[in-house]
Amino acid sequence: MHLIRNNFLKYIFLFLVGGFGYGGVEILYRGFSHISMMIAGGISFVLIGLLNEIYTWRMALISQMVLSAGIVTTVEFIVGLVVNVWLKLNVWDYSNLPYNFMGQVCLLYTNIWFFLSLPAILFDDYLRYFLLREEKPRYKIF
C-alpha cells in the first residue's frame, strides 16, 4: 500500500522535501536563503527524481549526476532570470565569478551541483522506496 496514492500529492511532497533541502544547504553555505531558492530546489528535486521514472535503473549514477547538475543549473538560470533580472530582487549575482552566464549561473556552481546531486539522487530514491513504497533502488556506477 502506498502512503501517498495520489501522484499530485507525491510530487508536492517531493517538491517540499527538495525545496527545504535546497534552502537548508543554502543557509548552511551563505547563512540565509530566499523563497525563490526553495522553489528552485523543489522543482530541481522533482525533476532529478523523474530521471529514474523515465530511464528506470538503466542510467549510470554518474550520468544521473551530470544530468542533475544540468537540471539544477537550468532551473537556477530560469529562476534567476525571473527573480533577479525581471523582478530585480537581486537575490544572487555571479557576475564576478569566471565562466558565468548573465550573472545567473556559473561553471563553479554547476560543478558543485554535480557533487551535491549524488546525495539528492540517493535521498530521492530511498524516500520513494521507504515512504512511497516504490521500487527498491539499484545502481550502476558507470
**pTM to 2 decimal places:** 0.92
Q: Are the beta carbons of 141 and 65 closer than 8 angstroms?
A: no
Name the maximum alpha-carbon separation found in the chain: 51
3-state secondary structure of 56: coil
**Section 18-37 average pLDDT:** 95
Q: What is the pLDDT of residues 85-114, one digit of tens each?
A: 999 999 999 999 999 999 999 999 999 999
Q: What is the pLDDT of residues 49-64, one digit of tens each?
A: 999 888 877 899 999 9
117 bridge partner residues: none
* Residues of the chain above pLDDT 70, percent: 96
